[in-house]
Amino acid sequence: MERFVRFMESGTGRLVRILLGVVLIVIDLVAVGGLAGTVIALIGLVPLIAGILGPCLVRPVLRQARAR
């Protein structure tokens, strides 16, 4: 799992997260529409913003799991 986190924090991983966020937002607003599309598009903001800012949101979850 550590390799996954390292990849997601790399430049390529950040690009993947940005693209995933954009794809989710576009598909949901165009194809799904309505309230459900808006909610899913807002969920798409999470990988988009995380990709832009850089942190991998899985790392804190892994730290908590190891601490137990």
Per-residue pLDDT of 52-68, as tens digits, reads 987 777 777 777 666 66
pLDDT for the residue 64: 67
Exposure of 64 in the CB half-sphere (CA atoms within 13 A)? 5
Q: What is the pLDDT of residues 1-28, one digit of tens each?
A: 778 888 888 899 999 999 999 998 888 8
Name the nearest CA neighbour of 55 among 8, 18, 22, 19: 8
- For 26-42, what is the mean pLDDT? 85
pLDDT for the residue 23: 92
Contact criterion met (CB below 8 Å) for 58 and 50: no
